[in-house]
Amino acid sequence: MSEHQQLYKVIQNRIQEGDGFLPFDRFMQAALYEPGLGYYESKTVFGEKGDFVTAPELGPWLSLGFADLLFWAWKELGEPTQWTLLEQGSGSGKLLASTLAMIAQFSMAKPATVISVERSAQLRDRQIELFADAGFNVEVVSSLDAVAPRENIIVFSNELPDAFPVRCFCHNGGSFYERGVVASEAGFDWKNSETVIEDGPQIAEELIAGWQDGYISEWNPGLEGWQQQLAAIVERGFIFTNDYGYSQQEYYREGRREGSLMAHIGQAASEDVLEDPGSRDITAHVDFTVLVKAGRAVGLTPLLWMSQGGWLAQSPSVQAFVQSLAVQNDATSMHLMAHAKRVLMPYGMGEVFKILGQAKGVESARPDYLSQFDHLDHLQR
């Protein structure tokens, strides 16, 4: 029996255990993270040989931007000689390795401790090999539970909360109904529960008032717990989260009637998130309004929220690298500039991806060099 067949059977059994109905977050959890069988446990997911390309696979642009943020945050912390750098959801490890190489060129103390948090066993193995080859001493752990609370810590992530399992709903007659998965002859299908959700999403009433019956979407119940975990670890420091998402006002607007769930397989996007679980990535956009609210509740103060394009375009290291490529004007530089357009421009990743900065235990405002394009006020509406 193949891994996909085994996973199919696991999900079928859970549907049976749930009297024929499995909430979507439990389906997504199994499809992505079932030990030894889930998508992130059994496939090469990143890069040209994987199912999708993330910004770290498109040149140094993201690591340049993060390096500038880390340098700024380190200075805001008082330029400590002992500090910790942590990336969560490190994937292939390329972003962390590249960022470490970048900050080594800055006039700053090297992090005394570097931690990579990655839940996938196969990706942790790949990271250990990559960091060893690059000469970096990195602690690779499976969860934040393995990280003790500490001061002077900077945490960053790229495309992390979009892969947290989400719950799905259909709004009818003024009530939220759970959308889940049932077994069918063809595989798996959607079904709406007949029971009203008691612990539903935190969505503004004025947005709900504009919906027509049958409005379908999702919400991410893991954001609150994630912020609680980070707040417990970060006694004094900064958190930078880069991911695709919206303000709640944009996420749940009347015209977005089918949510943001998407699958990725073979370098292509697909709306069929139920087909052949384990063969494809499943993601949903991030509601940054809820994320900021959850952070505030546990002492994480938001500093900035802007598009990836706006952030990187203002980053000094990105600007300097662009200028150096313009001088070279060869095939390599043209190739890198093509990738830059994909990462920075609105028609690529530049607009839908957002960077959120948060602080705890340190009085700070957003970096001076990021004075434009900050839309944090959009999350307060």
Instruction: Provide the mean pLDDT of the chain.
Output: 92
| Whether residue 350 has pLDDT greater than 80 | no
| Whether residue 3 has pLDDT greater than 50 | yes
So what's the pLDDT on residue 57? Answer: 59
What tokens appear for 131 in the block? 């960091």
Instruction: Report residue 337's pLDDT band, with 50, 70 and 90 as the boundaries.
Output: confident
**Helix runs in 140-215, H state only:** 205-208
The average pLDDT across 347-359 equals: 88
What tokens appear for 334 in the block? 């043209």
Q: In the block, which residue shows the tokens 């700053």?
A: 108
So what's the pLDDT on residue 43? Answer: 58
List, in order, residues 6 or more apart from 137 with CB less than 8 Å away.
Answer: 114, 131
| Percent of the chain whose predicted confidence (pLDDT) is above 70 | 95
- Is the distance from CB of 246 to CB of 285 less than 8 angstroms? yes
Go through the chain and tell me how many residues it has. 381
Pairing of strands 113-117, 84-88: parallel
pLDDT tens per residue across span 45-104: 554 554 445 555 556 899 999 999 999 999 999 999 999 999 999 999 999 999 999 999
DSSP single-letter state for residue 111? P
- Is the distance from CB of 14 to CB of 26 less than 8 angstroms? yes
Q: Which is higher by pLDDT, 146 or 338? A: 146
Helices (H) and strands (E) in the chain, counts: 13, 16
So what's the pLDDT on residue 45? Answer: 55
The average pLDDT across 358-366 equals: 96
So what's the pLDDT on residue 330? Answer: 75
Buried b (16+ CB within 10 A) or exposed e, 326-349: eeeeeeebeebbebbebbbeeebb
| Whether residue 32 has pLDDT greater than 80 | yes
| Percent of the chain whose predicted confidence (pLDDT) is above 90 | 80
So what's the pLDDT on residue 52? Answer: 47
Instruction: Report residue 344's pLDDT band, with 50, 70 and 90 as the boundaries.
Output: confident
- For residue 49, which of 267, 288, 283 has the smallest C-alpha distance? 267
So what's the pLDDT on residue 331? Answer: 79
pLDDT tens per residue across span 112-137: 999 999 999 989 999 999 999 999 99
Residue type, position 265, single letter = I
- For residue 223, which of 279, 293, 283, 171 has the smallest C-alpha distance? 293
pLDDT tens per residue across span 175-203: 999 999 999 988 999 999 999 999 999 99
Give CA–CA dist 24/81, Å, rounded: 46
Residue type, position 26, single letter = R
Q: pTM of the full predicted structure?
A: 0.93
| Whether residue 40 has pLDDT greater than 90 | no
The average pLDDT across 125-154 equals: 97
| Whether residue 240 has pLDDT greater than 50 | yes
Instruction: Report residue 269's pLDDT band, with 50, 70 and 90 as the boundaries.
Output: confident
- Is the distance from CB of 296 to CB of 212 less than 8 angstroms? no
